[in-house]
Chains A and B, each alone.
Chain A
Amino acid sequence: MAAGLALPALLAWLGFRDSYETMAGAFLLLFPYVFLLGSRDAALDELDSGALENVLFLDGRFRTYLRQKVLCLTAATGAYALGLFILISLWGLAAGRFRPVMILQFVMGLLAGAYYAGAAAALGVFLRSGANVMALLVAQAGAAAALLASAAGRSGFIDNLTSGRFPDAASRLRLSALLAAFPNLIVLGSFFRGAPVVAAGLVLALLARRLRLRRLEVRR
């Protein structure tokens, strides 16, 4: 809820204080995080609370509920993001600064958001509420530190990033790892090619969660 209110406030401040371009760029880079924060509610907590030991969830229906809850949360977050995007687009159209590529960037952001939601949900069957989100943020911090360390080298990975060229398998692997930690990078035009990596990560997260849910049991 706080993130949901803070983001429009930040965007409005950027829009009025700086420029439409800064605001739109910030929105496209940041809105996938709303999916991450919206998915912090973990299956593990609900199982341990005993709330699923209820007549509503008998005969394995608790698994269906846990699956559908993530879908509902993701859909609600997607609707919220779409609402903001429409407002930002209207602002851009009125000011004559809307660029059609933003639609593609928004779609990429939705993919990144879905990846966050899927990864947080997959971790949520192993970790408590909040810890699943924190694990992803810690992974991002680790990736950022690795990136900085790479910048110290003479021909580090950061050179590949700035040039947009990944000549060997090692650099491509590092790019995949970076996108796994920072999926929102795919909203940047130079990283559109990374969309399949993020999509593959999303599929893997959903598969891992599905497998775990299948073996999950209500316990006290």
Chain B
Amino acid sequence: MLSVDGLRKSFGPLAAVRDVGFRLERGRIAALLGENGAGKTTTLRMIVGLIDREAGTVNIEGSPVGYVAEHPAFVPWLDGLGLLRATARAFGLPPRRLEAGIESLCGRLRFDPGLLGRRPATYSSGNRRKYAYLQSLIIGPRLLVVDEPYTALDPPSIAGLREVFLSLRREGAAVLLSSHMLTEMSRVADDVIVLRRGRVAGRAELGDPRGRDRRAVPDLEDLFMTLCGRPDP
């Protein structure tokens, strides 16, 4: 589904990503972990084509690709519904599917559809984020890429979102999440990739997340601390 190999990116003298490679199969959820500045966001942005890579390859089988930024912002001249309509047009989504999708997703994301008459810039940060999910999920992504999936969300919304990720997984889509929230990642992820200083420091396969015991959390924390506590490669 997603194959990343030898990614590299520098910003001036700073080598943000030095050599990142991994695979994500369809019907799986991968958690991209790492300390602050490890290169997670840069890696995600290279994958979705918002920044250019200096080296390496990104192969994505299937489309469309959904993306939710950590701090979503939107074009200022459209209200929520107008932007969803523009998104639907851009991705060839028929109006009937758009309406059905809005109704279904608003419930699952706990997003008030009454807000769609206003411009997204006027929403609270939590609602902006839910709206960004709505915009990405409405197109039926085969790959969903999310930077810090739970930022600004309340616990019920986090629980709802967890179900959304798992349902995408059931439908055969792939989900790539970059996060520091090990507890949540341990509840949804099949695979874990740990970045450190722009390189893959380690990876682990957690297996099927459905009904996984929350005791898996200390294991993930141990893995993270072990890999990030190592001396530089």
Contacts and interface: CB of A to CB of B under 8 A. Distances in A.
Interface of A: 49-62, 215, 217-220
Given A50-B72, A53-B72, A55-B66, A218 B45 contact: yes
B135 A51 contact: no
B71 interface: yes
B55 interface: no
Contact of B69 (A53, A61, A217): A53
Interface in B9-60: 45, 48-52
A58 B67 contact: yes
Nearest to B145: A58
B73 interface: yes
Contacts of A58: 48-50, 65, 67
A147 to B, nearest CB: 40
A123 to B, nearest CB: 21
Nearest to A65: B75
Most A CB atoms within 10 A — which of B49, B68, B69? B49
A107 B33 CA distance: 59
B181 interface: no
Contact of B73 (A51, A59, A60, A219): A51
Q: Is the interface of A mostly helix, strand, loop or mixed?
A: loop
B72 A54 contact: yes
Contacts of A53: 45, 50, 67, 69, 72-73
12 contacts: A51-B75, A54-B72, A54-B75, A55-B65, A55-B135, A56-B75, A56-B90, A57-B50, A58-B67, A59-B49, A217-B51, A220-B69
Contacts of A218: 45, 50-51
A130 to B, nearest CB: 16
A219 B45 CA distance: 10
Given A52-B50, A59-B48, A62-B50, 16 more contacts: A49-B76, A50-B71, A50-B72, A53-B50, A54-B69, A55-B64, A55-B68, A55-B87, A55-B132, A55-B135, A55-B139, A56-B75, A56-B90, A58-B49, A58-B65, A218-B51
Contacts of A217: 50-52
B136 interface: yes
Given A49-B73, A220-B71, A54 B135 contact: yes
B50 A51 contact: no
Contacts of A60: 49
Contacts of B65: 55, 58-59
Nearest 5 CB-CB pairs, A to B?
Answer: A50-B73, A59-B49, A217-B51, A218-B50, A53-B69
